[in-house]
Amino acid sequence: MPQSTSLPLAQIAQLLGVPEDSLRALITARGGSQGDGTLVGLTVAEAARRMGIGRTTLYKYLSSGEIPSAKVGRLRRVPVEAVNDFLQRRLSREGFGTAA
């Protein structure tokens, strides 16, 4: 199964005119790979931070069902794949790289 996170980064690198490896190195150097990369269930705060949105907005997407989540004990977890899938749907629906 291909990683859905590599497509947007590849497109960003292409739009910027830089090699994807260089962009990945820059992101890593700037702390873009913080946290455990093996996590499969993110907290709401982690998922919101990854998406660059507020927790309230993320809760709106969770309650509408646009992004699935699950309760684990008393905590709500958002699957990493759900975040990636949501962003992919948004990119394909709204068109990548177009200005508003």
Average pLDDT, the chain: 78
Encode 8-19: b = buried (16+ Cβ within 10 Å), e = exposed: eeeeebeeeeee
Q: Is the pTM of this model over 0.75?
A: no
DSSP 80-95: HHHHHHHHHHHHHHH-
How many helical (H) and strand (E) elements, i.e. helices and strands, does the chain have? Answer: 5, 3
Task: Tell me how far apart the alpha carbons of residues 13 and 41 are, in angstroms, rounded to a whole number.
Answer: 27
The CA distance from 11 to 8, in Å, is 5
pLDDT tens readout for residues 14-52: 777 778 787 777 777 665 545 555 667 899 999 999 999
What is residue 77's predicted lDDT score, i.e. its pLDDT? Answer: 93
CA distances from residue 68 to 20, 41, 81, 96 in whole angstroms, order as listed: 30, 11, 10, 23
**E-strand stretches of the chain:** 41-42, 70-72, 75-79
